[in-house]
Amino acid sequence: MARRSSLLLILFGVVLVQACRKDPSAEMEELVVGAYRPTPLQLDIPTWALDSIHPVILPSSNPLTVEGVALGRRLFYEKALSDDYSMSCGSCHQQAHAFSDPRQFSLGTDGSVGRRNSMTIQNAVWDHFFFWDTRAATLEQQAFGPVTNHAEMRNTWPVVEERLRAHPEYPALFAKAFGDARIDSIRVVRAIAQFERTLLTFNSPYDRYVHGGDLTAMTEQQVRGMELFFGDAHCGDCHAAPRIQDHGAQNIGLGRNSSDLGMMEFTGLEIHRGRFKNPSLRNVAVSAPYMHDGRFNTLEEVMHFYAEEVDLADPNLDQHMFAWTFGFVDLDAQERADLVAFMHALTDEEFLTNPAFSDPN
Ligand code: HEC
Ligand code: HEC
C-alpha cells in the first residue's frame, strides 16, 4: 500500500512538472478537472450515419459531458450575451427552422442588417469548418464571433464574463461543468460548442424509408425525387448521403457579379471566389430562405436556378458541376416537382421539436 501511494505521489509530481510548462490557466484547469469529473456523454449516432471518410470531430480539449451540454444549452439561449439583453444565439438560430433564421438577413441588437443568411446548426459534429466562407475551424472558434460582431450581439467578452459571474446560477453551473466556478470566454464557447454537438438529426421520412425499412415513410413522388436526386439530377454528387452534405465548399454558379466573394474573403485566393460552404439539405423545407444570401424564398425557386440559371461561364464553377457543363442535367417540370417533394422528406419533426434542444428558461 505504502509503495503504491508513493508511486502515485511521484506520478502526481511528474504531472505537476509537465503542467507547469504550460500556461498557468491551462494548468489550473487540468488539475482541477483531474480532481472533479463531470459525467461523460456519449452521442447516440445510428451506425449507418457513421463513415470512415468523415469521422465525427470531438476535440479532446473539450470532452462532451452532461453538465457541459446543459450549461451550453442555457448559454445558447442566454440574452445576457448581447449588449442590451435582447438577443441570444437562439434568436437567429431557431429550433423550428433547424436552428436557422427565417429572415433573409438577421438583424443585430441595434437593428443593423447582416449580409448573409443565418445557417442551420445540425449534425455539426462532422464539420471541420464553419460559416459560409469556411473561416472558423471549430465550433469553439465560431462561437467567439457573434458576441462581439457589430451586426449581431454587439457586446464585449469582459462584459459577458462579468454578467455571468454576478448571476445567481451560472457560477454553480460552470463549477458542475468544468470543476470550478471560474467563468471566462473560453469556457463559454466550450459549453456552447458541446451543446451544438448534440444537435443530431437522423429521423426524417427519408431515413425511415432507407434505413428503417419503412417503405410507407415516403410517397411515390418522393421516391422518384430521391432516385433523381442521387441519380440523373446529380444533386447527391455534393449533397451526399448520409448527411446530405459533402463537407466541402463549392462555387455552384450563382453569378459572378456578387460583392460577396465567399471563401476568397478568407483565403485571398482568386480560385476561391464564389465558393461557399455546402449546406446539409436535411430539414431544408423548414430552413428557407436559401443560399448564402437568402436570395431564394422557395425550393421551387432553387430548382429553377439549378435547371435554368447556373452560370456555366464562371471560370471558378466547381468541377462537381460537370454534369451541368456537359448539359446532362435537364429537368422538366415534373422532375423539379419530384425533387422538391423529396427534399420535404428530409424534415425530421423529432429534431425540430425535441425538448432537449429548446430554450430551458
Ligand atoms: C444576429 C443573428 C445571429 C446571432 C445572434 C448568432 N448568429 Fe450564428 N450565424 C448567423 C449568420 C448570419 C451566420 C452566417 C454568417 C457567415 O457565414 O458569415 C451564422 C453562422 C453560424 C454558425 C455556422 C454554421 C455552419 O454550418 O457553418 C454557427 C455554428 C453559429 N452561427 C452559431 C452561433 C452561436 C453559438 C451564436 C451565439 C453565441 C450565434 N450563432 C449567434 C447569425 C447569427
Ligand atoms: C457542385 C456541388 C453541388 C451540386 C451538384 C448541387 N449543389 Fe446544392 N448547393 C451546393 C452549395 C455549395 C450550396 C450553397 C451555395 C451558396 O449559398 O452560395 C448549395 C445550396 C443548395 C440549396 C440551398 C440550401 C440552403 O440551406 O440555403 C438547395 C435547396 C440545394 N442546394 C439543392 C440542390 C439540388 C436539388 C441539387 C441537384 C439539382 C443540387 N443542390 C446540386 C452545392 C451543390
Is the distance from the beta carbon of residue 261 to the nearest atom of ligand 2 less than 6 Å? Answer: no
- 8 pLDDT more than 80: no
* Per-residue burial over 25-57, b = 16 or more CB atoms within 10 Å of its CB, e = otherwise: eeeebeeeeeeeebeebeeeeeeebeeeebeee
Whether 281 is in the pocket of ligand 2, judged by its Cβ within 6 Å, is yes
User: What CA–CA distance (Å, rounded) separates 223 from 217?
Assistant: 10
- 44 is written with which cell numbers? 447516440
- What is the number of the ligand 2 atom nearest to the C-alpha of 289? 27
Ligand nearest to the backbone CA of 98: 2
CA dihedral 64, 356, 239, 145 (to 10 degrees): -60
Cα–Cα distance between 5 and 133 in angstroms, integer? Answer: 54
pLDDT for 258: 85
265 is catalytic: no
Please indicate whether residue 237, judged by its CB atom, sits closer than 6 Å to ligand 2.
Answer: yes
Q: What span, in angstroms and rounded, lies between the C-alpha atoms of 142 and 170?
A: 22
Q: Which amino acid is at 159?
A: V
Cα–Cα dist 282/98, whole Å: 9
pLDDT at 10 over 50: no
Please give the C-alpha separations between residue 206 and each of 6, 40, 96, 260, 342, in angstroms, as whole numbers: 59, 31, 19, 34, 8
| Contacts of range 272-276, beta carbons closer than 8 Å, 24 or more positions apart | 272/316, 273/316, 274/314, 274/316, 275/134, 275/249, 275/250, 275/251, 275/316, 275/318, 276/132, 276/133, 276/249, 276/250, 276/251
Q: How far is the CA of 105 from the centre of ligand 1 (A)?
A: 11
In the predicted structure, residue 68 carries a pLDDT above the cut 60: yes
Choice between 11 and 58, residue whose per-residue pLDDT is larger = 58
Closest CA to 203 of 51, 358, 42, 349: 349
CB atoms within 10 A of CB 332: 9
From the CA of 266, which ligand is nearest? Answer: 1
- Per-residue confidence at 361, pLDDT binned at 50, 70, 90? confident
145 C-alpha vs ligand 1 centroid, how far in Å? 8
300-346 tens-digit pLDDT: 999 999 999 999 999 999 999 999 999 999 999 999 999 999 999 99
The residue assigned the cell 447516440 is: 44
For residue 239 the three cell numbers come to 449533397
Please answer whether residues 130 and 139 qualify as being in contact, where contact means their C-beta atoms are separated by less than 8 angstroms: yes
Distance from the CA of 188 to the center of ligand 2, in angstroms? 33
Inform me whether the pLDDT recorded for 213 exceeds 50.
yes
Cβ-proximal residues to 221 (8 Å cutoff; 6+ apart), any chain: 337, 338, 341, 342
Question: pLDDT confidence of 35, banded at 50, 70, 90?
Answer: low
Indicate the pLDDT class of residue 25, thresholds 50, 70 and 90.
low
* Start-to-end Cα distance in the chain: 50
Residue 58 grid coordinates: 470531438
Residue 351 CB less than 6 A away from ligand 2 = no
Q: Which residues does 53 contact at the CB level (< 8 Å), separation at least 6?
A: none
Q: Is 338 in the pocket of ligand 2 (CB under 6 A)?
A: no
Which of these is catalytic: 29, 78, 140, 152? 152
- The mean pLDDT value of the chain amounts to 91
- What's the whole-number mean pLDDT along residues 98-120? 93
Residues 249-259 pLDDT 10s: 999 999 998 89
Q: What is the pLDDT of residues 270-284, one digit of tens each?
A: 999 999 999 999 999
